[in-house]
């Protein structure tokens, strides 16, 4: 699991007021990445000895998006960030 403090630094959040919400967003982001990559967190640890930096940063980016638009009411067209996709694509397991 990605540490709350790591994500808070990424988002420049100093207060503890929204820790519970951020923890929930972290969990959602991790689930999303695991589903996309066809891996579990244990797979990352077993294959790389740690959570790769690209994956940690991707979680932080997703949490940032969820945090900024927590109600999903943004009028911005939601698209997959190409940088985010490029960060996680190398870790995707292909099933045959």
Closest to 88 measured CA to CA, from 49, 35, 46, 47: 35
CB 51, CB 6: distance < 8 Å: no
CATH number at residue 43: 1.10.3230
pLDDT tens digits, one per residue of 52-94: 999 999 999 999 988 988 776 665 555 678 899 999 999 999 8
Answer yes or no: is 33 within a domain.
yes
What pLDDT is stored for residue 26 in this prediction? 96
Q: Determine the structural domain holding residue 15 and report its residue range.
A: 4-91
Q: With 0.95 as the threshold, say if the pTM is over it.
A: no
Answer yes or no: is 68 within a domain.
yes
Answer yes or no: is 96 within a domain.
no
Answer yes or no: is 48 within a domain.
yes
- Quote the number of domains for the chain: 1
Answer yes or no: is 74 within a domain.
yes
């Amino acid at each position: 699991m990605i540490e709350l403090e790591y994500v808070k630094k990424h988002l420049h959040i100093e207060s503890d007021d929204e820790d519970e919400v951020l923890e929930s967003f972290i969990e959602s982001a991790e689930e999303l990445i695991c589903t996309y990559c066809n891996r579990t967190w244990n797979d990352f640890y077993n294959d790389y000895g740690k959570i790769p930096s690209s994956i940690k940063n991707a979680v932080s980016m997703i949490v940032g998006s969820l945090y900024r638009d927590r109600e999903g009411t943004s009028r911005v067209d939601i698209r997959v960030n190409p940088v985010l996709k490029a960060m996680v694509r190398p870790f995707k397991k292909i099933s045959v």
